[in-house]
Amino acid sequence: MDKCPKCGMLKDLCVCEILDKQGTAKIKIYSTKKKFKKLVTIVEGIDKAQLSSTAKELKNKLACGGTAKEGIIILQGNHKNKVAGILMKLGYPEESIEVS
């Protein structure tokens, strides 16, 4: 049986991941231009423990490339209108997501 490294409970009973998503941190989503005037979508404010798995899920659902580094997720293309809905389906609370 696997145990959670944070709380020590069995993985099936652990709620650490859900509690991390319900933190008080604001998630900011916005678009900006990078090299050669290409648009990218930036997602800031996701917990570092969830960063790579959330980035992988976003890239998969949006069918785009991207990366997760230095506490932010960078997605290729302008997806700011779609990202909020996907994050809510992943369990992030709607009131903590800010699209600008």
Look at residue 30 in the predicted model and tell me its pLDDT.
94
Report the phi/psi class of residue 57: left, alpha or beta, with left for phi > 0 and alpha for psi in -120 to 50: alpha
Which contacts (CB < 8 Å, 24+ apart) does range 33-41 have? Answer: 38/76, 39/77, 39/78, 40/66, 40/74, 40/75, 40/76, 40/77, 41/74, 41/75, 41/77, 41/78, 41/79, 41/80, 41/83
Select the CATH number that applies to the domain covering 24-99 from these four: 3.30.230.70, 3.40.50.300, 3.30.780.10, 3.30.750.24: 3.30.780.10
User: Is residue 24 pLDDT above 70, yes or no?
Assistant: no
User: What gap in Å lies between CA 27 and CA 6, rounded to an integer?
Assistant: 23
Please give the structure tokens belonging to residue 98: 């800010």
User: What gap in Å lies between CA 82 and CA 22, rounded to an integer?
Assistant: 20
The span from the first CA to the last CA of the chain, in angstroms, equals 44
**Which pTM value belongs to this model?**
0.74
Confidence of residue 75 (pLDDT cuts 50, 70, 90): very high
